[in-house]
Structure 1
Amino acid sequence: MLLNGVNHVAILTNDAERLHGFYRDVFEATVDHEERMPGGTLSLLSIGPLTELNIFEISDNTEAQRQTPMFGRGRIDHLGLQAASTDAFDLIRERLMARGATDGFVTDFGPVLSLFFRDPDGLEAEVCVPNPDAKPGVYNPPGTPAPGYQARTDHP
């Protein structure tokens, strides 16, 4: 295979500091570089050893305020992040639930466990981790609850 994962995903925001704080507090991401550019700022937010979010805060750009349902958002629909381990996945899940970014429902897709969330700008994203209980060749449809994970019912 010629590729080794995702290098970056570019995201528009109206509040880079808020977005930095969210990804820092939940995922322990770090801002590696920030620069002023004509009409705004660009920051490089490291979310893994080889992957970053390129955060653009552009003056008078309202695109970050526009939110449409899943599969109606254009060619890039959502962001999929890979947790380093099941322990990391569980910690990320707790942090996301504490922020009200998810109800905590974990889908058992068979080979992977998946948790969807929304960041402060409304971007729907997903955290995945290899399923330690996966059975070879078994794939489950969306909405299949993962054993051992209880969704919060008091989520706003």
Structure 2
Amino acid sequence: MTMRRETDPMLLDGIHHVAILTSDTDRLVDFYRSVFGATVEHSSGDGPVRLTFLNIGPHTELNVFEIDGNHEAEHQTPMFGRGRLDHIGLRAASMEAFSEIRRRLIDREATDGFVTDFGPVLSLFFTDPDGLEGEVCVPNPDAETDVRHPPGTPSTGFDTP
């Protein structure tokens, strides 16, 4: 096996999409539109499967599946007990966007508003209407080189409502 050298270019430019299950596409689309400004690229399905492509960033989308008889979206397990994929981490476009997303999530009671200072990144967790946990991250403008903080370290720039 050949190891990638630090000087080799990365061959990926990010995550294209994450596929998720829901029991109510319209409710989920409304949430992501109102909080993140998401747009519907395409929606199809008059039969047992409804598929909606929901753009949540310039190069990122959620592929939302609503499948008759599938109830997986109703089951939520605690963090790190969810299998190989635990949660989705989204990157805010700017600190201003992060603050606005935080406000919208608080208004929808989808977060308690606590912002974690991990050092190079500030982080805010939320839960969507189906119980899927997500995280919004933004580069920390006050980060110190090579300094990392453990989970639960409060950011000094945000008060918890």
What does residue 77 of structure 1 align with? Answer: 86
What does residue 54 of structure 1 align with? Answer: 63
For the pair 1:90 / 2:99, whether they are aligned, the reply is yes
| 1:26 counterpart letter in structure 2 | V
Q: Distance in 2 between matches of 1:60 and 1:43?
A: 18
**Structure 1 moving runs of 4+ over 4 Å:** none
Q: Distance in 2 between matches of 1:72 and 1:12?
A: 18
C-alpha displacement of 1:37: 6.6
Q: Distance in 2 between matches of 1:39 and 1:26?
A: 28
What does residue 103 of structure 1 align with? Answer: 112
Number of aligned positions between the proteins: 152
**Length-normalised TM-score, structure 1:** 0.95
C-alpha displacement of 1:148: 1.8
Q: Distance in 2 between matches of 1:146 and 1:91?
A: 16
| 1:110 counterpart letter in structure 2 | G
Among candidates 45, 49, 55, match of residue 36 of structure 1 = 45
Among candidates 111, 115, 130, match of residue 139 of structure 2 = 130
Unaligned ranges ≥5, structure 1: none
| 2:16 counterpart letter in structure 1 | N
2:155 alignment partner, SS class: coil
2:57 alignment partner, SS class: coil
Unaligned ranges ≥5, structure 2: 1-9
Larger radius of gyration, structure 1 or 2? 2
| 2:95 counterpart letter in structure 1 | T
Among candidates 2, 12, 20, match of residue 3 of structure 1 = 12
C-alpha displacement of 1:150: 1.1
Q: Distance in 1 between matches of 2:84 and 2:122?
A: 24
Map 1:136-155 → 2, pairs under 5 A: 136-152=145-161
What does residue 118 of structure 1 align with? Answer: 127
Q: Distance in 2 between matches of 1:140 and 1:108?
A: 7
- The range that moved more, 54-63 or 31-40, is 31-40
What does residue 32 of structure 2 align with? Answer: 23
**Length-normalised TM-score, structure 2:** 0.93
